[in-house]
Amino acid sequence: MERRENDLLSAIREVVNQSRLRVFRLANSALLESYWQIGKLIIEDEQNGNVRADYGKATLKNLSSQLTIEFGKGFDESNLRNIRRFYLSFPIRDALRHELSWTHYRLLSRLESEDKRIFYINEAIASNWNSRELERQINSLSFERTIAEPKKNDSKTDIQHYIKDPYIFEFLGLNALEENTERNLESAIITHIQKFLLEFGKGFAFVARQQHIITDTSDFFIDLVFYNYILKCFVVIDLKTKALSH
């Protein structure tokens, strides 16, 4: 009887969660569409009036005052500038990816090149980045540390497409001014494994820590073992906090 009730609860929970997800997606799509249309109207008005920069600022300020009185929060001058920049960065409405939120697009609109915007859009969707993770990836120059376009039939470049150089692990919370042991570094990585995998690249799954490997001459303990299901290979990490020696 208890198992049956648990199954029923799980089924109802799934229905509720899916329903809420659909509502969020519809609301998010409507918000993106409305902001895109508002941005389009602002730009067209500027272009038709041959607007100077100071006049444009005055227009947004007046618009903000009127819209805030009529519709409440969400139309302050700062957000109207974001909406204007959103349209300029994404002038093709049908190209908008509704998997991403307004917060995602607000961050993406600040990027100066289309290549960067496309890169971060694809990565955010593929890796399911929330807006906070997207901001972190932008601030840590993920685009610059990743090969954006791998060449065909080039396995070396193909591998580089899925990894970064260098890696940035500031989220581990280790003090850079203190001497950290390899075991402390390993423990910090395990504690923050989800963020570590996002920084590590695409397609990585955690397999083991301190994996015992035996050879004909000796045995070893590998600090961390990962598997990349895209490249179909294992990746082993030997952590070093000091200079390498052979």
User: How does pLDDT run across 121-168, given as a tens digit for each residue?
Assistant: 998 998 888 899 899 889 888 888 775 444 444 544 455 555 566 666
Return the closest-CA partner of residue 193 out of 178, 181, 208.
208
Look-up of token digits 């100077």 = 52
Per-residue pLDDT of 65-79, as tens digits, reads 999 999 888 899 999
Give the domain ranges of the chain: 2-96, 155-237
Query: What is residue 148's predicted lDDT score, i.e. its pLDDT?
Result: 47
Q: What is the pTM of this model?
A: 0.63
Query: What is residue 115's predicted lDDT score, i.e. its pLDDT?
Result: 93
Instruction: Read off the pLDDT of each residue in 29-39 and give the average, rounded to a whole number.
Output: 94
Q: Give CA separation, 168 vs 36, 100, 142, 181, in Å.
A: 34, 24, 9, 18
91 cis-preceded (ω within 30 degrees of 0): no
Query: What is residue 165's predicted lDDT score, i.e. its pLDDT?
Result: 60
Instruction: Read off the pLDDT of each residue in 203-209 and give the average, rounded to a whole number.
Output: 80
Q: Give CA separation, 140 vs 134, 136, 170, 176, 206, in Å.
A: 10, 6, 10, 17, 23
Phi, psi of 111 (to 5 degrees): -75, 140
Order the strands of the 233-237 sheet from edge to edge.
204-214, 219-228, 233-237
